[in-house]
Amino acid sequence: MSISQTITDFVTLAIQAGGWMELDRLYLQNRILAMIGEESFESSSPRPVTENSLDLLDILVAQATANEVIQKDSTDLEIFEAQLMDFLTPPPSVVNALFAQHYEKDPAQATYYFYKLSQENDYIKTRAIARNIVFPAETEYGQLEITINLSKPEKDPKQIASERLATHIDYPKCLLCMENEGYKGRSNYPARTNHRIIRMNLDGESWGFQYSPYAYYNEHSIILSEEHRPMIISKETFQRLIRITEVLPHYFVGSNADLPIVGGSILTHDHYQAGKHVFPMEKAEIEHYFELKDFPLLNAGIVKWPMSVIRLQSPNSEDLVAAATLILEKWRKYSDETVSIRAFSADGTSHHTITPIARRKDQLFELDLVLRDNNISTEHPDGIFHPHKDVQHIKKENIGLIEVMGLAVLPPRLNEELKEVENYVLAKENQLAEHHKKWADQMKNTYSFTKKNVTDIIQKEVGQIFTRVLADAGVYKRTTKGQIAFKRFIESLNEGR
C-alpha cells in the first residue's frame, strides 16, 4: 500500500471518529504529510478501510523515521505517535457530547463508545497490554487472577539520562490532573495529546472519567477529582462511590486506602478506580452475618477472604453510607494488642483506614470494606500487614485496591526469573536468583517435575504465594484467635460511639 493511500485511509478513520467532516479531508491530508516529512501526495480515493488504526499508525511512523523526522526508539517517538493519533480523537467537547448521546440510550453503550475510542486512538496501549502474562490460580478462596505486568515499557539509558537533565516543570501537577488532557508530554512525562476525559458531576463537584493507559482488567477506568488534593477515605468517599454506581450501574468502583504502605501508588490526587470486571473477592461469599442495631434493614457480614472484609448490602444508599461511616470511625480508633492491631503510634500517628469497593446487585447497593493497618515493627519493618519477607521474592510491593480484590499485579522481573526456576527444578542449566532458591528447593521436594507439568505447577505455587500475600495484609488472620478478635471488633460496632 502506498503512503498516499495510507494517509487517505488514516484521514477516513479520523472523519469517521466524529471530530472532522469530509470538507476537512485536504486539510488533514496536508497536516499528516508535513508531520511525516513527505512533500507530495499521489491522488488516492477514499475507500472502506480494512486496516486497523494501529497498523496505519505503524506505517506512518515508519515513513517519518525513513524521512528522519523522528528517530526510532527516541524519547520523542511516543509524543509523535500521540500527535498522529490525536487526529483520530475528537475534541473534548465532541467526545463528551457523543458520550452523553450514547448515555441517554444506555450507560453501558456510552462507556463502550469511550472505551473503543480510547483503544483505537492508542491511548489504551492494547498491544503493550497483550504482552502481560495472565493465568488463573485455584485456591481455597476461589480462583484468583495472576498477572505478570510486562506492559509498561522499560526506559533505556538514554531516556533515563535525558530525564535526569530535564528541567523540572510542575505542570501538570500529577498524572491524574485534568491538565493532562491534550498535553504534549516531554522527556520525563508521558504524551497525552490523544487523551480525553469525560466530565462528571458528583453531588455538585466536578470529576473526570477516563481509562487507564495500561489496563489491568476489562474497561479499567479512573475517576478523578478536578481539584488536585490528597486522597482521604471519609463519609464523602462512600457517598461518591455509591453515586458512581448509580451513574455507571454496570461498573464496580473502589478506592485505594489513604495511608502509605497499605495505599496505592498515587496518594496526592483524589481518585477512584472502576471498570466492568468481576473480581474474585466479589464472588466470595459472606461466611458470618451480623446485625448493626442502628440499621435493622441492612445486610452485614464477614466475607470469606484472606483479608479482613466486611460486606454491606442495602437498597437504601443513605443507610449504607451511614453504616460504612460508623465502621470507618470505629476502626480508625480501634486497637487490639492481642493481635498486634494498634490504631495510633505513641506520637499520635494514625494507622487505620479502609479500602472500600462499591457495586450494584440488581436493586441492592453493595459495599465491601477492607480493614487496613499500616503499622511496622522490628520483625516486619516493611509493614506488619504487608507481604512478609518470605514471600517478597514474588511480591514485595504495596497491596493496593486491585490486589485486595484478588488480582495479583506482579513485577516484570518474574517473567525471566520464573523461567530460571523452571530450569532449576528440571535440573537444567540455570541462573536461579538466590531469593528463589529456598522456594525452588521446597518445590523439588514436593513435586515430580516434567517438561510438560513444570509451568502449571509453578503457576499454581505462585497463586498460593499470592494467597499468602493477601493473608499477610489481612489484619485479622484466618485462625481461631484472629477470627475471635475480628468478632470482638464487630461487637464494638453496636456499642456507644
Q: Mean pLDDT of residues grouped by 10 in the chain (497 residues)?
A: 93 96 97 95 87 96 95 85 98 98 98 98 96 96 96 55 62 96 93 97 96 96 97 97 98 96 87 98 97 95 98 97 98 96 94 98 96 95 95 95 97 97 97 97 97 97 98 97 97 85
Q: Supply the pLDDT for residue 188.
A: 86
Asked if residue 453 belongs to a domain, the reply is no
Asked if residue 54 belongs to a domain, the reply is yes
For residue 495, with 0-12 CB atoms within 10 Å meaning exposed, 13-18 middle and 19 or more buried, which class applies?
exposed
Q: Supply the pLDDT for residue 157.
A: 46
- Quick check: 282 and 405 in contact, CB under 8 A? yes
Asked if residue 38 belongs to a domain, the reply is yes
CB atoms within 10 A of CB 366: 20
Asked if residue 442 belongs to a domain, the reply is no
Q: Supply the pLDDT for residue 167.
A: 65
CB atoms within 10 A of CB 350: 12
Asked if residue 408 belongs to a domain, the reply is no
With vertex at residue 151, the alpha carbon angle to CA 470 and CA 395, rounded to the nearest 5 degrees, is 25
Residues 6+ apart with CB under 8 A from 471: 306, 307, 477, 478
Residue with cell 528541567: 167
- Quick check: 29 and 22 in contact, CB under 8 A? no
Distance CA 285, CA 315 (A): 19
Asked if residue 201 belongs to a domain, the reply is no
- Quick check: 61 and 55 in contact, CB under 8 A? no
**Domain limits for position 14:** 3-120
Task: Determine the 3-state secondary structure of 483 from DSSP.
Answer: helix
Asked if residue 33 belongs to a domain, the reply is yes
Closest CA to 107 of 249, 299, 313: 249
Q: Supply the pLDDT for residue 158.
A: 52
Measured between alpha carbons, how far is residue 357 from residues 278, 301, 307, 313, 497 in Å? 12, 15, 14, 12, 24
Asked if residue 44 belongs to a domain, the reply is yes
Q: Which residues of 16-54 are buried (b: 16+ CB within 10 A; e: fewer)?
A: ebbbbeeeebeebbebbbebbebeebeebeeeeeebebb
Distance CA 397, CA 329 (A): 27
**How distant is the alpha carbon of residue 372 from its chain centre?**
19
User: What total number of domains does the chain contain?
Assistant: 1
Cell numbers at 150, concatenated: 510486562
CB atoms within 10 A of CB 416: 11
